[in-house]
Structure 1
C-alpha cells in the first residue's frame, strides 16, 4: 500500500528513505519547452518565413514587442538566453594538416601549420573508460594507473597510448587526426621522432556501411539552395496550380480554397485533395503540365508500424547519439528533431544536420515545421531529393505549442487551419515521391475545445497522410495535466469508421502522453485502439523504457548499468560530434542535457508501489552511495559525471540547464 502520509500526486517513496514529506521542486517542462536552441539562434521570420501575423495581417513593431514580453513572462521556469559557445584549442591546428594532408592556403591559412608547437600546447589525452572500468562504488569509474609517454619530448609527453578513440574504434580511422583528444590510440612514432597517424584499412572497409552516417548534403547543393538556384519543378507546378485556382475562385466570388478545402475537392479542375487510392485518374489528369508526374497515393510505401516502439522527435535532446542509445534499448522507429522549413530553404548547416541518420536506425524519419505550402512543399522536395533512399517518412509538426512557433502559423496553429494543412499534405506528398508523409498533432488548441476528432478522419482519405500521431493534450494544456486517452480513443474510432465506410486500408495511428512503464504501455495498447504509443519524456527520463516494453517488465536497473548507459552516450556523442576539443565539449553539453532529465528517475527499490508514474513528484529521499550523483538535481554533479568519461571540463566551459530549478545545488538530493 502506498504511503498514506504523502500528499496526492507524490511518488510513493518508502518511509525509511524519506528525508522530507514535501515534494522536491519539479522542473517546469512547459516553460523550458519554450527555451530551446531554436529560440536562441533563429528569428521569428525564420520560423514563420515572414513577420508574425494575427488574423491575416502583419503585426507592428509595438505588437511584436508585446508578444515578446508575454513570452518572457511565460518562460518563468526556464533559464532564458542560454548560450553554448564551442571550446577550441588555445592554438588551433589546420584541419588538413592535422589529418596528414596538404593545405592549399599554405602560409595564408588562418590556422597554424606548426605541428610541434601545436602538440606542445595541446592538453593531455583523455582516458576513455571501457565497460569493465565501471563500478557501483566511488569513484564509480576506475581507470588503471598508466603513465603518459615516457619520452621527455614535449611533443609526445601528452600522449596516452592506452586510451581509446571512439571514431577509430568504430571506423578504423579518426578524421580529426592530430587534433583528436584520444590521439594515443591511433598514432605511432616514426624513426625520425615524428608522429604518424594509424589507419586500420581492414576495419575501415568492413564497417563502412554499418557505421557511416548518411544524409549529408554536399557543398554545391547548399550553395544552390542559398542562392535560390535549387530546382523545385514539382513544387513550382503545384504552387502555381493552387494560385491559379485561388484567382479563379476569387473572380467567381466563391469561397477561398484555404477556407474550405473539402468544397474544392468536388471539382475535378482543382488540386485540393490527395491522390488517394480512389483518386488515381484525377491525380494523373491534373499533372499533365508538371516536369515529373508524382506517384499516386497507392504507390506510396506503406508504413507497417503496428506494434513497433516509437521514440518521439525531441527538441535539443533528441539528437543522433540519443537516438542511437534508444535504438540499443529497443526503439524501432526514430524521428529527428523538429526542423524549420524556412531554414532548410535558406541552406542552414545546423538545420540540414538534423536529417543525419545512423545505419542502426532501422526506421527513420525527419520532422518539419512551417506555416504554409509555399515553404513546406519546396522544402520537402529538396529534402526528398537530397536524402533519397535514406528517409523512411517525413513528419509534419502540427503540435508544437511554443508561442514563437504558434504565432507564425506553424506547429499547433495548423490545427485551426484545415484548408491550409490539406494543401500542405497534398503538396508534400507530390514533392516527396514514394516517401510517406505523416502528421503529428494535438487534440486541439484550447482547453475544452478538442477538434482532432474532426480533423483526423480527413488526413488520410482526403489528403494522403500515411500515419498519424496524436498527443493527448491541447496546446493550452500543461504537462501537469494528464493526457486525455479517452478522447484519443474517440479520434481513433472516427478514423477507423471513415476507413471502413470508404473501404480504405487502415493507416497507423499512434497515441502519446504520460507513458512511463511497460505496464502502462500495454494497457494503452489494449484499451485505446492505437497501433502504438509514441514515447517522449518517458524516454528522456529512462531511455531503457523500450527494453521494459519489449520484455514486458519493470527493469530494476543498477547504478552500474546506468553508468554504462552514460558511457555509451558519450561514445556515440564523440562519434557524431567529433573527438577533437570542440567535439568533446559539444558531447559534454548534450550529455548534461540528457542527465537533466535522467536524474528524475526514482530507483524501483525505493518505491512502495509500481509502476511509477511520470507526473508524480518525488519527495526528498535518501539514496545509496552508488546513486548519489545519478539522482542529484544539481547541474554541477552532471558536469562531474561528464568528467568521468570526457576528462576535466575546461575553465571556460559552463553548463546552464534548460530548467531553472536545476541551475543550483540542492541539498535535498544528497544523502
Structure 2
C-alpha cells in the first residue's frame, strides 16, 4: 500500500487494478441536504481530479465540486394512456363521461408496457451477463406482484405492472381482478402501513381551521411570562454582562412592535415560573451562565419510560431514510427507527408530501417522528397535531437540534438551537405538554463553531429541567460537518455531565446515544464501552452497509457475499414497490430511491479483500476488482451501473428516465 497516501483502504494486492490513486472521500454533507430540486440537472463537465499526477484544483474548483446536486429533477413518468383509478380497480367512476381519465380498459392494456418480472437472486449469475434475456409475456403468471403477495389485494388494479399476479381471463377472454381473502385477513395487522393522516385533517390545517387548545394555552402562558416582568421591573434584579447590556440598550430603542421578536432572537427574556419551576428566573443565551440558574427540575412522571439500553438505533436520514429503507434495516436488526426530518411549518400547512414522512410499517417496533423548527409557536402545535392524529402509533417525537445545512441553520432551526438554550427549553417543555405521555427526544451536535464544544452545558438541563426523555449526540460541531472524525472523548464528557446532574437531582437516567463514524461491530461496542453511552445511533454506516445491525447484534464482522448483497437489494425493491406503488409511477419512484441507496452502498469494500480489519468509514478506496463480476459491479461508482442493477428487479428503465446522484462527488459517468 506504499504507493497510496494515508487513509487509503488496505486492499490485498491481488485485487488491486492499475489506475489513479483513490480520490477524496465522497461528500457526505449532501446526505443531510434538502429534498427539493431546483433548476436543471447538474452535470460534471470534467472527471474528478485525483492522484499526484493530476493538476491540483484551486480553492474555487474544490468548492464547486463539493456538496449537493441541487438541480436534480425526478419527474413522474406515467402511462401514455392514463386509465381512471376507479375503473382500474373494477369500480364505477362517479364522474362518468366527464372524467378526464380514460375508461377503456381494453385500449389501455394494448398500450401498457409488458409486465415486470422480479428476478429471483438464485436466477442471477455472479458473472456477466447476469440475467438471461427471456422476458415474460405481457400478462404472465411468472410476474409476482409484491403488493398482492403481501396484502392479498393490489390497490393499483389494472394499472399494476405485475398484473398477471391478480387477474383472471374468463371463457370469452374478458379480464377480471381477484383478491386473496386469507392473505387480506393476515395482512390487516402485520403488513399494512399506518399513520395515514386523513384528508379532512390536512384540509383543516391548510385552511387554518385546525384547533390547538393545548398549544394556544401554552403560548398564552408564554406571553404572560414575557409581560409580567415589565410590570414589576423595580422588584426584579437583573445582572447583565457588558455585551448583553449593549443588546438591551439596542432593544430599548426598537419600536414596540418588533421588540418581542428581537428579544427572542437574542435570548434575553425573563420567563414565568409556572412554565418550568414555579418561580421567576432570568435567562440569557449565554451558555456559560445557565449552569448557575437556580431552576427546579420539571419531572414528567406521566411520560412513557424509554428503556433503550442495548438497542440498535437507525438515525433519521433525509431522502434516503424513507420507509422502505427503514424496513430493510429492521430486517437486518435495527430496533429503533425514526422518520425523515419533517419541517414544522410544512406539517402545519397540511403538506401532503410532508405528512407522508410520518408513515410507519408494522415491522418498526419502536418508531418516532423527527421535526425541525425554530419557535415554540410552530413546534408546540406540531406536537399537538401529531399526538391527535397518529399518537396511538407513535413511540416518541424527536426534535432536530443537529441539522447543519445552511437553509435550516439560517432559519434558526436545527443546530442553530444549540446557541438558544432559553428558546429550546420553552420548545421542549411545550412539546411535552402537547404530546401527553409520548416522550420527547432531542438530537444534538457538540456545538456550532469548530473548536467550541458547548453542548455539555446544555444536555444536563435538557434531561433534568426541560423533560427530554432521550438525548442523542453527534460527535461533531455544525461547522465541522464531516471534515473531521467524531469526538468520542467529548461525548464521554457530556454523558458524565448528564449523569452527574441526574444523580444530584435523584432522577432516573435517560438514555443517551452517541453518533459518528460507526462502521463495524468493533467500532460500535468500543464506543459504547469507552464513552458510557447506552448505544450508538448509526447513520452513514447503515447507508453504506445496511447489514451493520446484524454485525452489531452478533458481535462479528460479516464478510457478506455479492449474492447476499444482491438479495438485500432485491428486498429493498420489493419494499419500495409496496410503499410507492406497482403502477408505472410507483415503479420509477422505487427505482429512483433504490439508486439513491446504491449511491451509498457502492462505497462498501468487501472485508474479504482487506489486509486488516475492520474497515473504516472514511477510507478512500483504490480501483479494485471483486471476487466475482457481480461484486465488481456492486462496487462501481458509475451511476449508469446503479440503473443497470435496478433493472434486475424493476425491469428496463424508461428511455426518458435518468438518475443524477445526490453527491456531486459521484455525479459523473466513469471515464474509460
What is the TM-score of this pair, normalised by structure 1?
Answer: 0.87
Partner Cα separation in structure 2 for residue 653 and residue 502 of structure 1: 59
| SS of residue in 2 equivalent to 1:123 | coil
Cα drift, residue 4 of structure 1: 4.1
Q: Which residues in structure 2 correspond to 1:153-164 (within 5 Å)?
A: 158-164=138-144
Cα drift, residue 141 of structure 1: 4.2
Match of 1:117 in 2: 107
Match of 1:26 in 2: 25
Q: Which residues in structure 2 correspond to 1:244-255 (within 5 Å)?
A: 244-253=224-233
320 and 142 in structure 1: CA distance in 2 versus 1, 3 angstrom threshold: farther
Matched, 1:331 2:341: no
Matched, 1:400 2:391: no
Q: In the alignment, is the contact (CA less than 8 A) between 2:272 and 2:280 conserved in 1?
A: no
Cα drift, residue 198 of structure 1: 1.3
Q: Which moved more, 1:260-269 or 1:547-556?
A: 260-269
Partner Cα separation in structure 1 for residue 77 and residue 346 of structure 2: 25
Partner Cα separation in structure 2 for residue 34 and residue 500 of structure 1: 35
Match of 2:119 in 1: 129
Q: In the alignment, is the contact (CA less than 8 A) between 1:34 and 1:75 conserved in 2?
A: no
2:165 paired residue among 172, 185, 189? 185
Partner Cα separation in structure 2 for residue 229 and residue 375 of structure 1: 15
Partner Cα separation in structure 2 for residue 340 and residue 35 of structure 1: 13
Q: Deviations over 1:150-197 (max 9, x none)?
A: xxxxxxxx2122110000000000000000000011100122321110
Match of 1:486 in 2: 489
Cα drift, residue 357 of structure 1: 0.2
Match of 2:537 in 1: 534
130 and 566 in structure 1: CA distance in 2 versus 1, 3 angstrom threshold: same
Match of 2:351 in 1: 348
Cα drift, residue 479 of structure 1: 1.1
Match of 1:268 in 2: 278
Match of 1:99 in 2: 89
Cα drift, residue 9 of structure 1: 1.1
| SS of residue in 2 equivalent to 1:425 | helix
Match of 1:291 in 2: none
| SS of residue in 2 equivalent to 1:486 | helix
Match of 1:288 in 2: none
Match of 1:286 in 2: none
631 and 170 in structure 1: CA distance in 2 versus 1, 3 angstrom threshold: same
Partner Cα separation in structure 2 for residue 547 and residue 162 of structure 1: 32
446 and 379 in structure 1: CA distance in 2 versus 1, 3 angstrom threshold: same
Cα drift, residue 147 of structure 1: 5.0
Q: Which residues in structure 2 correspond to 1:311-322 (within 5 Å)?
A: 311-322=314-325
Q: Deviations over 1:443-468 (max 9, x none)?
A: 00001111110000000111000000
Q: Deviations over 1:555-612 (max 9, x none)?
A: 0000000110110000000000000000000000000000000000001121101000
Q: Deviations over 1:366-411 (max 9, x none)?
A: 1000000000000110011111210000000000000000000000
Partner Cα separation in structure 2 for residue 260 and residue 454 of structure 1: 19
2:218 paired residue among 230, 238, 262? 238
Partner Cα separation in structure 2 for residue 369 and residue 147 of structure 1: 47
Match of 1:226 in 2: 206
Match of 2:14 in 1: 16
| SS of residue in 1 equivalent to 2:634 | coil
Match of 1:139 in 2: 129
Partner Cα separation in structure 2 for residue 165 and residue 656 of structure 1: 28
2:632 paired residue among 616, 628, 642? 628
Q: In the alignment, is the contact (CA less than 8 A) between 1:6 and 1:21 conserved in 2?
A: no
Match of 1:520 in 2: 523
Aligned residues: 608
Q: In the alignment, is the contact (CA less than 8 A) between 1:24 and 1:620 conserved in 2?
A: no
Partner Cα separation in structure 2 for residue 545 and residue 537 of structure 1: 10
1:648 paired residue among 644, 647, 652? 652
Match of 2:49 in 1: none
Matched, 1:76 2:75: no
| SS of residue in 2 equivalent to 1:334 | strand
Cα drift, residue 33 of structure 1: 4.0
| SS of residue in 2 equivalent to 1:468 | strand
Q: Deviations over 1:106-161 (max 9, x none)?
A: 11111101111111110100111234323323333458x4752xxxxxxxxx2122
Cα drift, residue 470 of structure 1: 0.2
Partner Cα separation in structure 2 for residue 307 and residue 267 of structure 1: 33
Partner Cα separation in structure 2 for residue 266 and residue 371 of structure 1: 19
Q: In the alignment, is the contact (CA less than 8 A) between 2:167 and 2:176 conserved in 1?
A: yes
Match of 1:67 in 2: none
Q: Which moved more, 1:560-569 or 1:10-19?
A: 10-19
Q: In the alignment, is the contact (CA less than 8 A) between 1:334 and 1:363 conserved in 2?
A: yes
Q: In the alignment, is the contact (CA less than 8 A) between 1:261 and 1:422 conserved in 2?
A: no
Q: Deviations over 1:267-296 (max 9, x none)?
A: 6266999xxxxx9x998xxxxxxxxxxxx7
Q: Which residues in structure 2 correspond to 1:267-286 (within 5 Å)?
A: 268=278
Q: In the alignment, is the contact (CA less than 8 A) between 1:134 and 1:563 conserved in 2?
A: no
1:596 paired residue among 595, 599, 604? 599
Q: In the alignment, is the contact (CA less than 8 A) between 1:232 and 1:381 conserved in 2?
A: yes
Cα drift, residue 628 of structure 1: 2.2
| SS of residue in 2 equivalent to 1:419 | helix
10 and 113 in structure 1: CA distance in 2 versus 1, 3 angstrom threshold: same
1:499 paired residue among 499, 502, 506? 502
Match of 1:290 in 2: none
Match of 2:5 in 1: 7
2:472 paired residue among 465, 469, 472? 469
Match of 2:34 in 1: 36
Structure 1 unaligned segments of length 5 or more: list them: 42-69, 149-157, 274-278, 284-295
Q: Which residues in structure 2 correspond to 1:164-203 (within 5 Å)?
A: 164-203=144-183
Q: Deviations over 1:285-322 (max 9, x none)?
A: xxxxxxxxxxx710100000001000000000000000
Partner Cα separation in structure 2 for residue 234 and residue 177 of structure 1: 43
261 and 490 in structure 1: CA distance in 2 versus 1, 3 angstrom threshold: farther
Partner Cα separation in structure 1 for residue 149 and residue 190 of structure 2: 13
Match of 2:43 in 1: none
Structure 2 unaligned segments of length 5 or more: list them: 40-59, 239-262, 284-293
| SS of residue in 2 equivalent to 1:308 | coil
Q: In the alignment, is the contact (CA less than 8 A) between 1:377 and 1:427 conserved in 2?
A: yes
Q: In the alignment, is the contact (CA less than 8 A) between 1:35 and 1:79 conserved in 2?
A: no
Partner Cα separation in structure 1 for residue 135 and residue 477 of structure 2: 57
Q: Deviations over 1:217-269 (max 9, x none)?
A: 11111111111111100000001110111012234346668436789578626
Aligned Cα root-mean-square deviation (Å)? 2.3
